[in-house]
């Protein structure tokens, strides 16, 4: 196939899991190669939703063969683009990217013409920064470069967490591992930590208690981003244990890789070493649990967080883009 070949685009809801499975298997291999993530659980969730016709999006067909797909999910008046991927079989990266760009164009046109839809968010973690910017910028999206960082755990000393389950904090309160009831305490620390923050511009879930609960549900109860690891997820709780000052959530994204899906500290407790301690406790916990490395993502503009991660030994492996569009209703 060359970029000149005419593709057909059909609604994703015309397809069943078996049509998309080979494409998702190929995509899973690319996740493994680029990010060391095991994407197979996420792929099988996507296939379940495709089978139930729950996802909106498009499939690109090259002479009847499935060569790419894009999907989004709706959350009230917002759409989140979950993924775009085109097969690399027998074609070069540039041609595959061309298919992805056409899929993006189709979906953006549909979304921007959907009555009542006020906001579209996308984070294309698999794809390098800038690769898909053109259709997004042309459609009025703002781009936010984000970093994918990794820290090697081989030289981490796990002794701080081997001996104890709780650690007193000099400012009052204590560090302890995540327990199920933290699910109800976590929204408050997340919404307060992200008030006026660049990340709540990109992802408006952080702005409300209901959005934060949806975020937590995806991370903690649902394998939306790896398998949640409560043993490596730590909080700083106040002395009564009824309030959290800070938290870190960690999931396992492959047999040997942990991923920090959330870290935040209440503004009044920032800059006191809490974030650093949460990261150290998580690293030691994941090392004990057989992991080789920990990854996380951070918005490039979030200089305080990037600085902290780099001090702790996290190194940039990949740059990708988050995109945001909202309808100007003035």
Ligand X SMILES: CC(C)(COP(=O)(O)OP(=O)(O)OC[C@H]1O[C@@H](n2cnc3c(N)ncnc32)[C@H](O)[C@@H]1OP(=O)(O)O)[C@@H](O)C(=O)NCCC(=O)NCCS
Q: Applying CB under 6 A, which residues contact ligand X?
A: 193-194, 197, 199, 263-265, 270-276, 298, 302-305, 307-308, 311
The least distance separating ligand X from the CB of residue 149, rounded to whole angstroms, comes to 9
Structure tokens at 61: 């067909």
Residue (104 or 236) nearer to ligand X, CB = 236
| Residue number with CB closer to ligand X (39 or 169) | 169
d(CA 62, CA 204): 37
Cα 9 to Cα 208: distance, rounded to the nearest angstrom: 36
Distance CA 228, CA 251 (A): 4
CB of 299 to ligand X, least distance (A): 7
**Smallest distance, ligand X to C-beta of residue 307, A:** 2
- CB contact at 8 A, 25 and 42: no
Closer to ligand X by Cβ: residue 54 or 303: 303
* Residue 107, helix vs strand vs coil: helix
In the bound state with ligand X, the residue whose beta carbon lies nearer, of 100 and 199, is 199
- Give min distance, CB of 26 to ligand X, in A: 30
Q: CB 43 → ligand X: shortest distance, Å? A: 25
CB atoms within 10 A of CB 208: 13
In whole angstroms, what is the distance from residue 93 CA to residue 102 CA? 14
- Residue closer to ligand X by CB (options 133, 276) is 276
DSSP string of 193-206?
Answer: HTTT-HHHHH-GGG
């Amino acid at each position: 196939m060359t970029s000149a070949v005419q593709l057909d685009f059909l609604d994703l809801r015309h397809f069943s899991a078996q049509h998309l499975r080979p494409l998702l298997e190929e995509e899973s291999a690319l996740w493994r190669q680029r990010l060391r993530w095991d994407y197979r659980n996420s792929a099988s969730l996507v296939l379940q939703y495709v089978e139930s016709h729950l996802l909106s999006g498009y499939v690109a067909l090259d002479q009847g063969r499935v060569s790419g797909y894009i999907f989004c999910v709706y959350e009230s008046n917002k759409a989140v683009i979950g993924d775009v991927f085109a097969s690399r079989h027998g074609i070069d990266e540039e041609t595959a990217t061309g298919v992805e760009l056409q899929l993006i164009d189709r979906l953006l046109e549909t979304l921007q013409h959907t009555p009542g839809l006020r906001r579209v968010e996308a984070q294309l973690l698999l794809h390098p920064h800038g690769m898909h910017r053109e259709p997004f910028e042309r459609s009025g999206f703002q781009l936010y470069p984000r970093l994918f960082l990794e820290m090697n755990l081989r030289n981490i000393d796990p002794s701080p967490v081997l001996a104890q389950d709780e650690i007193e904090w000099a400012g009052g309160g204590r560090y302890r591992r995540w327990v199920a009831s933290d699910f109800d305490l976590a929204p408050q620390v997340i919404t307060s930590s992200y008030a006026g923050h660049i990340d709540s511009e990109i992802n408006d879930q952080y702005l409300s208690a209901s959005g934060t609960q949806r975020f937590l549900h995806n991370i903690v109860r649902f394998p939306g981003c790896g398998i949640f690891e409560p043993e490596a997820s730590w909080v700083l709780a106040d002395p009564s244990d009824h309030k959290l000052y800070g938290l870190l959530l960690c999931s396992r994204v492959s047999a040997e890789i942990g991923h920090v899906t959330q870290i935040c500290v209440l503004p009044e407790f920032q800059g006191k070493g809490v974030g650093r301690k949460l990261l150290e406790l998580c690293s030691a916990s994941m090392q004990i649990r057989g992991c080789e490395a920990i990854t996380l993502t951070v918005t490039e503009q979030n200089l305080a967080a990037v600085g902290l991660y780099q001090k702790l030994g996290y190194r940039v492996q990949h740059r990708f883009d988050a995109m945001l569009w909202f309808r100007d209703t003035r």
